[in-house]
């Protein structure tokens, strides 16, 4: 079945780079996503990558996809206190319907 795995916590110092990792299982996924959730809020779409791409960069965010190992990572450059949140990796369902399978989320903790 479909499963998305993430580590639960990541602690980094302000100004360093954060790298959040994710593994997925469904090889038919066409898109892979990163969402951010702040306390009391919904999910904010950060970025996404099509499964035929290896890398995507968007300002401070870099997504790397290793399709052979089914490994996805999100790198946040120059991490700031405002980046403190839970980050979710998600893969799209196969087939025609929309829908996502999410990981449990990685809590990003910023040390001053």
Partner 1 sequence: KAGVTQTPRYLIKTRGQQVTLSCSPISGHRSVSWYQQTPGQGLQFLFEYFSETQRNKGNFPGRFSGRQFSNSRSEMNVSTLELGDSALYLCASSPGGGGKQPQHFGDGTRLSIL
Interface contacts to partner 1, rule CB under 8 A: 30-31, 33, 35, 41-45, 48, 88, 90, 92-93, 95-105
Written as one string, the DSSP assignment of 11-64 is EEETTS-EEEEEEE--TT--EEEEEEE-TT--EEEEEEEETT-SEEEETTEEEE
Report the residue number, 14 or 55, with the smaller CB distance to partner 1.
55
Report the residue number, 36 or 79, with the smaller CB distance to partner 1.
36
Show the tokens assigned to 66.
């290793």
Report the residue number, 42 or 112, with the smaller CB distance to partner 1.
42
Least distance in angstroms from the C-beta of 84 to partner 1: 18
């Amino acid at each position: 079945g479909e499963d998305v795995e993430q580590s639960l916590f990541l602690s980094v110092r302000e100004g360093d780079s954060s790298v959040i990792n994710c593994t997925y299982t469904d090889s038919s996924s066409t898109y892979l996503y990163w969402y951010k959730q702040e306390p009391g809020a919904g999910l904010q779409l950060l970025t996404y990558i099509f499964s035929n791409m290896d890398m995507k960069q968007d300002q401070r965010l870099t997504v790397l996809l290793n399709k052979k190992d089914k490994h996805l990572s999100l790198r946040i450059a120059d991490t700031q206190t405002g980046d403190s949140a839970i980050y979710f990796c998600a893969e799209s369902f196969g087939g025609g319907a929309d829908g996502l399978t999410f990981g449990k989320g990685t809590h990003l903790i910023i040390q001053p």
